[in-house]
Amino acid sequence: MLISQPGLDLLQEALNHLGHGFTTLPAAENPLEDERLRPVLLEVAARMRDNYPYHHPLYAGQMLKPPHPVARLAYALAQFLNPNNHALDGGRASSALEKEAVGEIAAMFGWKEHLGHLTSGGTFANLEGLWIAGCLQPGKRVLASTEAHYTHQRICGVLQIPFDTLRADTNARISLPQLETELAKGDVGTVVVTLGTSAVGAVDPLHQILPLARQAGVRVHVDAAYGGYFRLARLNGQAAQAFAAIPEVDSVAIDPHKHGMQPYGCGCILFRDPSVGRYYKHDSPYTYFSSDELHLGEISLECSRAGAAAVALWATQRLLPLELDGEMAERLEKSLSAARQLAAWLKARPQQWKLLFEPELDLVVWAPQGLSASQVSRQTQAIFDRAAELDLHLAVTQLSQGGQWPELDWDQPRVACLRSCLMKPEHLQWLPEICQRLEQAYLSTSSLAL
């Protein structure tokens, strides 16, 4: 978790190197020499202990992936200047690094030409994608699966764009028959396709949705906030086909602060057609006076944005290029292997566990076997609590009645299930330990299954 002493020494060396670029300036007061800083900083450290161990492989719950060491160091280095990537005047070097880094992400999706920039996160990236969709298809509906992230409906509410949901099939993917029915009505402007749902990691069949949308003259926006980097990995079955179709979509949202190993917040929105930049165009002479070049602030709804996020992302991609069979891809492959091996371990114990979905990415959803939804939910919560006592941190998700568990007595509308996101490549090495502690948690709560 911690930056080692060699890492801190490297940061100091880099800071000295940075400082040599400003040697013509007269000396100024150094606020770090203020003796009051030490007790405050140590108090902060003590307060921050009240956290789950997000950095450790035994944390396998939510989508929390620790930044790569080079991202931490580059972000800290940039913070000593604290650039603002709203305009070149506030972040000349970091703006250049942002354009390069975003261009590399676009290339990962197969785009040579694009319009894109970093955002504060996936929510704002999706907001900009749907805002442009609304500009191009005014008054028309946005469709998304019931398994899509809840922010799409809220975003459409903010933008005052009509929004409807499509039911999900038994694999938690968009129902193609219902999509065809809705497209036939002629009032749909955009379909949101999720490549990696937050709840179960499902991959919507983009390769099948695209021809339907194109025939109806409908835009396709891909929410790949969680799953986007798996474009580099070896996926199986329909997930591989879906990711291979990304170059044909209209816009993509992705979160480098997930599988891109960046500090929060770092999202990214990309458009295949650069001409949509005309909708961002505005005049703000008080911030633009140093260059006639395109300012990132002129293609973003956000104004002040952390230049340090761009610096950290650029440094990470410099160290780990976004290329097939590279080190970044290898890290993703390990996460996929961990999820597949956990799924195999669960299926080998059918008297204890029910695997709800075959993992398409690195999310695994399962539950203890039981007769009724209420009984399963009680044991799920007990296992979750007991696992945490064993320093194994999982997550709980709710599954509605459907085709995944027909033999269950649905005495309540939803059943609580366990969920793990095995985002860290170290999860593969730690999987035997994770399974051992999960088994221990199950055995200590097995009386609830009676």
Give a three-class secondary structure readout of 333-387. Answer: HHHHHHHHHHHHHHHCCCCCEEECCCCCCCEEEEEECCCEHHHHHHHHHHHHHHH
Give helix then strand counts, H and E, for the chain.
Answer: 13, 11
Which residue, among 62, 117, 20, has the nearest Cα to 313 in the 3D structure? 117
Looking up residue 340, the CATH number of its domain turns out to be 3.90.1150.10
The whole-angstrom separation of Cα 214 and Cα 221 is: 12
Quickly count: other Cβ atoms within 10 Å of residue 416's Cβ: 21
Q: Please state the domain count of the chain.
A: 2
Which residue, among 267, 260, 265, 266, has the nearest Cα to 329 in the 3D structure? 260
**Do residues 151 and 198 both lie within one domain?**
yes
**Do residues 314 and 374 both lie within one domain?**
no
Enter the tokens of residue 192.
Answer: 């949101």
**pLDDT score for 82:** 92
Which residue, among 142, 145, 1, 5, has the nearest Cα to 69 in the 3D structure? 1
**Do residues 134 and 246 both lie within one domain?**
yes
Residue 71 lies in a domain: no
The whole-angstrom separation of Cα 78 and Cα 97 is: 12
Residue 6 lies in a domain: no
129 close to 251: Cβ distance less than 8 angstroms = yes
Residue 214 lies in a domain: yes
Task: Classify each residue of 204-230 as buried b or exposed e, where b means 16 or more C-beta atoms within 10 Å of its C-beta.
Answer: bbbbbbbebbeebebbbbbbbbbbbbb
- The vertex-351 CA angle with 349 and 357, nearest 5°, equals 65
Angle between helix 151-159 and 122-136 (nearest 10): 50
| Among candidate residues 271, 293, 319, the one where a domain is terminated | 319
The helix (H) or strand (E) run that includes residue 10 is helix 5-19
**Do residues 127 and 182 both lie within one domain?**
yes
The whole-angstrom separation of Cα 253 and Cα 224 is: 6
CA 110 and chain centroid, separation? 19
The whole-angstrom separation of Cα 368 and Cα 377 is: 9
Which residue, among 158, 153, 164, 223, has the nearest Cα to 192 in the 3D structure? 223
SS3 state of residue 231: helix
CA 147 and chain centroid, separation? 15
Residue 38 lies in a domain: no
**Do residues 315 and 373 both lie within one domain?**
no
Q: Give me the domain span that covers residue 309.
A: 92-319
Enter the tokens of residue 111.
Answer: 């785009």
CA distance readout (Å), 161 to 143, 184, 250, 251, 271: 11, 19, 18, 17, 19
252 close to 231: Cβ distance less than 8 angstroms = no
What value does the CA radius of gyration of the chain take, rounded to a whole number of Å?
A: 24
The whole-angstrom separation of Cα 162 and Cα 142 is: 6
**Do residues 226 and 337 both lie within one domain?**
no
Q: Determine phi and psi for 331, rounding to 5 degrees.
A: -65, -40
* Each residue's pLDDT expressed in tens, for the chain with a length of 450 residues: 567 888 888 888 898 998 888 888 888 767 666 788 889 999 999 999 999 999 999 999 999 999 999 999 999 999 999 999 888 888 999 999 999 999 999 999 999 999 999 999 999 999 999 999 999 999 999 999 999 999 999 999 999 999 999 999 999 999 999 999 999 999 999 999 999 999 999 999 999 999 999 999 999 999 999 999 999 999 999 999 999 999 999 999 999 999 999 999 999 999 999 999 889 876 554 444 334 445 677 788 888 898 999 999 999 999 999 999 999 999 999 999 999 999 999 999 999 999 999 999 999 999 999 999 999 999 999 999 999 999 999 999 999 988 889 999 999 999 999 999 999 999 999 999 999 999 999 999 987 765
Q: Determine phi and psi for 446, rounding to 5 degrees.
A: -65, -20
Q: How buried is residue 247: exposed, middle or buried, by Cβ count under 10 Å (0-12/13-18/19+)?
A: exposed
| Among candidate residues 302, 319, 336, the one where a domain is terminated | 319
**Do residues 310 and 333 both lie within one domain?**
no
Which residue, among 178, 100, 184, has the nearest Cα to 145 in the 3D structure? 178
Q: Determine phi and psi for 163, rounding to 5 degrees.
A: -135, 140
Residue 250 lies in a domain: yes
**Do residues 358 and 307 both lie within one domain?**
no
**Do residues 366 and 297 both lie within one domain?**
no
- Report the DSSP beta bridge partners of residue 414: 400
- Report the DSSP beta bridge partners of residue 116: 270
Residue 275 lies in a domain: yes
Quickly count: other Cβ atoms within 10 Å of residue 128's Cβ: 26
**Do residues 298 and 331 both lie within one domain?**
no
323 close to 329: Cβ distance less than 8 angstroms = yes
447 close to 357: Cβ distance less than 8 angstroms = no
255 close to 226: Cβ distance less than 8 angstroms = yes
